[in-house]
Amino acid sequence: MDTLSRRATLIACTLLGAGMAPVAAQPPRRFTAADYDRAVRMLGPSLNPLVIGGSVTANWLADDRFWYRNQTATGYEFVLLDPARRTRAPAFDHAALAAALSAAAGGKYRADSLPFQSFVFSKQLDSLSFDVGERRWSCDARGTRCVAAGPARPTGQGGGGGGGGPGGRGGNTVLSPDGKRAAFIRDWNLWVREVATGREKQLTDDGVKDFGYATDNAGWVQSDRPILLWSPDSKKIATQQQDERKVGEMYLVETKVGHPALKAWKYPLPGDSVVAMIHRVIIDVDAGKVVRLRMPPDFHRAMLGDNLSMADLSWSPDAARLAFVSTSRDHKSATVRVADAATGVVRTVFDETVPTQYESRIGLKVLWGRNEVLWNSERDDWSQLYLYDLATGKLEHQITTGEGPVTELARVDEKAGVVWFLANGREPGQNPYYRHLYRIDLDGRNYRSLTPEAGRHAAQLSPDGKYLVDTWSTPDQPPVVVLRDPGTGKVLMPLERADVTKLLAAGWKPPIPIRVKAADGRTDLYG
């Protein structure tokens, strides 16, 4: 939980406690079944279906067009948006495709409730493919014909994951960027499977229980999905061998009908002399070679904790180098390092040590084309962006300044020297918990707010940086989605707006935002 979230929770609890104090002196109220039924009707599972639309997840195409799945009053539709022409149209003929798929698959499908949530367009956008159950289908966009196209695709993604003993099937795989191979764990070792043929290859052979490869065990969070990062060319894997052999155990008794089951797992505690250690490795998939990085083992796999994936790793475009961050056990020190993928030789670029805790949700952003590192630090009491020289480790300059923490990087254009970022508390007079999008040159000039409307904004920029999909809302205002110019923030066209008519009809009332003074009489508190 970040600082802002902790503060918000503290304020909310304080205000709630203050509001409940007089009630405690009154006789306890007896709640009836009707009271509980009314409360259930106000819970998320009951209310969420009453909010229609207002959500856009842009699936960008090569020409800046994008499609998204939009909720309607009767179901869902797939929309194709052309930013250049400012047009919005159905992505395909829904009714015809539903009829063609029903005939081919032997089912009964409706145009507003097609049995898939995602699909892949052909290059010409004249056909699309998708999974239904365990089969993959291909249909032309006019919906005149659908044909079976083999088994469904693996569900793994090209990123981080988890790890354990037997397995290697289902959703515990990590796909390579080219989609041709899937990495998985079997018997504490790392394997890959060719998606097209199913042929498997073992990459490591010395993994054992509590000292396995790509293991996902943060103590409180565990899974069977491997923790790793594929190189851009899909030829190498960056991962670790996690040593927990002498780590103490945590126990949990699962209660159920019959005899209880005792569950035990590795869980280091504060003050333990032995904790889990990360031995970093790079694996050449084709050669089957494991290169161990020439450095002591690390305490953590990510700056914020061990339940995250490989967010602090960055491959160079040619996959010759790997940048990462080593964090001390107490999180007071973070060291940026670069490893040679062929030899395992590690070079320290720079480090940062603080007296309390170094915390960054942004992680490491290496600008390989500029030979620079974009770094996030709270050294001036606000989360700001800094630029370092990748070769020398020298600080070049501070990029962002002023009040309000930078919380997320949205996009970096190395060639143009521009960074888009999200931050809180930078708009005068607004609730500091509202988040906005900004752009600034890497030299610190041309700072601009792009989303001035009061609210919490979420940004999706096109791959080439020409267009911005902006979604925002407040506690008492439903989500609005627009298309913007990411250079100026100008609204190019509206996209969607959530319809809360049914929600209001059900008796829901929006919360009332408040602002009060703290005990010092000067500080504003928001809730």
Residues 6+ apart with CB under 8 A from 119: 78, 128, 129, 130
Q: Judge whether residue 198 has pLDDT over 70.
A: yes
Say if residue 243 is in the same domain as residue 277: yes
Q: Confidence class of residue 359 from pLDDT cuts 50, 70 and 90?
A: confident
**Which of 41-50, 222-231, 401-410, 483-492 bottoms out in mean pLDDT, i.e. has the lowest?**
41-50
46-50, 305-309, 517-521, range with the lowest pLDDT: 305-309
Has residue 101 been placed in a domain?
A: yes
Split into its structural domains, the chain has a count of 3
Classified as helix, coil or strand, 183 is strand
Verify that 70 and 136 share a domain, yes or no: yes
| CA contacts within 13 A on the Cβ side of 520 | 4
Distance (Å) of CA 242 to CA 214, 279, 441: 7, 6, 40
Q: Are 101 and 107 in contact (CB under 8 A)?
A: yes
Beta-bridge mates of residue 229: 238
Q: Which two tokens stand for residue 250?
A: 């945590």
Q: Which domain holds residue 71?
A: 60-151
Predicted pLDDT at 153: 81
Question: What is the structure's pLDDT at 303?
Answer: 78
Query: Is residue 41 situated within a structural domain?
Result: yes
Please name every residue paired with 249 in a beta bridge, in sequence order, or none if there are none: 266
Q: By three-state DSSP, how is residue 188 classified?
A: coil
Quote helix, strand, coil % in the chain, to nearest 5.
10, 40, 50
The string over 467-500, giving b where at least 16 C-beta atoms fall within 10 Å of a residue's C-beta and e elsewhere, is: bbbbbbbbeeebbbbbbbebbebeeeeebbebbb
**List of long-range contacts for 444-451, beta carbons under 8 Å, 24+ apart:** 444/397, 444/398, 444/399, 444/400, 444/401, 447/400, 448/488, 448/489, 449/489, 450/420, 450/484, 450/486, 450/488, 450/489, 451/484, 451/489
| pLDDT over 90 at 104, yes or no | yes
Out of 76-80, 217-221, 246-250, least confident range: 217-221
Q: Determine phi and psi for 41, rounding to 5 degrees.
A: -65, -15
Q: How far is CA 222 from the centre of its chain?
A: 18
Of the pLDDT bands very low, low, confident and very high (cuts 50, 70, 90), residue 174 is very high
Domain identity same for 104 and 170: no
Interval 300-310 mean pLDDT: 73
* Among candidate residues 308, 336, 355, the one where a domain is terminated: 308
Nearest to 55 by CA among 79, 88, 90, 86: 79
Residues 162 and 110 both lie in one domain? no
Residue after which a domain boundary falls, among 275, 308, 341: 308
The single residue listed with the structure tokens 């659908």 is 146
List Cβ<8 Å contacts ≥24 apart for 333-338: 333/358, 334/303, 334/358, 334/360, 336/364, 336/373, 336/375, 336/388, 336/393, 337/295, 338/390
Q: 58-72, 100-114, 155-169, 325-339: which has the minimum mean pLDDT?
A: 155-169
Tokens 């009061």 map to which residue? Answer: 454
Within-domain flag for 8: no
CA distances from 401 to 232, 386, 406, 443, 444 (A): 33, 10, 10, 12, 9
Name 372's bridge partners.
Answer: 367, 389
CATH, residue 289? 2.140.10.30
Asked, for residue 208, whether it belongs to a domain, the answer is: yes
| Residue 276 falls inside a structural domain | yes
DSSP alpha helices (H): ranges in 413-514? 501-505
Assess whether 510 and 527 both reside in one domain.
Answer: yes
Domain boundary among the residues 287, 308, 329 is at 308
Beta bridge partners of 459: 470
**Whether 116 and 165 share a structural domain:** no
- Within 8 A by CB and 6+ apart from 32, the residues are none
In a domain, 264, yes or no: yes
CA separation for the pair 193, 279 (Å, rounded):
24
Residues 108 and 251 in one domain: no
Q: Are residue 218 and residue 81 in the same domain, yes or no?
A: no
In this structure, the answer to whether residues 39 and 123 fall within a common structural domain is no
Condensed to tens digits (0 to 9), the pLDDT of residues 6-53 reads 333 433 443 334 444 444 567 888 899 988 988 888 888 888 889 999
d(CA 447, CA 438) in angstroms, rounded, equals 7
Same domain assignment for residues 196 and 278: yes
**pLDDT single digits (tens) 436-483:** 999 999 999 999 999 999 999 999 999 999 999 999 999 999 999 999
Q: Which of these, 349, 441, 361, lies nearest to 4 by C-alpha position?
A: 361
Enter the tokens of residue 274: 């032995």
Domain annotation covers residue 450? no
Q: What tens digit of pLDDT does each residue of 371-394 get?
A: 999 999 999 999 999 999 999 999
pTM beyond 0.85, yes or no:
yes
Mean pLDDT of 57-63: 96
Nearest Cα to 163, choosing from 205, 206, 204, 213? 213
Q: Are residues 41 and 96 in the same domain?
A: no
> Do 219 and 276 lie in a common domain?
yes
By the 8 A CB rule, do 454 and 442 touch?
A: no
What pLDDT score was predicted for residue 1? 42
Q: Does some domain include residue 319?
A: no
SS3 at position 503: helix
